[in-house]
């Protein structure tokens, strides 16, 4: 493996970083809001599923007594 000169390495890194397409401020805000909405939807879904399963298990265990 060839060793790269530190100066050449920094030039290559800057060259590659300039090729990156960064999201706009608006895209970042919209994506962040969508993530929070999906987190809330998932939390509500899992809460309801847990409550349903808990009620079902309680009912099943109540049959034996």
pLDDT in tens, 29-65: 999 999 999 999 999 999 999 999 999 999 999 987 6
- Categorize the per-residue pLDDT at 1 as very low, low, confident or very high, splitting at 50, 70 and 90: low
- What whole-number distance in Å separates Cα of residue 51 and Cα of residue 34? 26
Who contacts 23 (Cβ-Cβ below 8 Å, separation ≥6)? 31
* Three-class secondary structure of residue 64 per DSSP: coil
pTM of the model: 0.66
- Name 12's Cβ contacts closer than 8 Å, sequence gap at least 6: 4
């Amino acid at each position: 493996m060839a060793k790269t000169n530190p100066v050449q390495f920094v030039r290559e890194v800057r060259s590659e970083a300039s090729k990156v397409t960064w999201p706009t401020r608006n895209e970042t805000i919209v994506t962040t809001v969508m993530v929070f909405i999906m987190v809330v939807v998932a939390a509500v879904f899992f809460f309801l599923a847990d409550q349903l399963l808990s009620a079902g298990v309680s009912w099943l265990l109540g049959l034996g007594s």
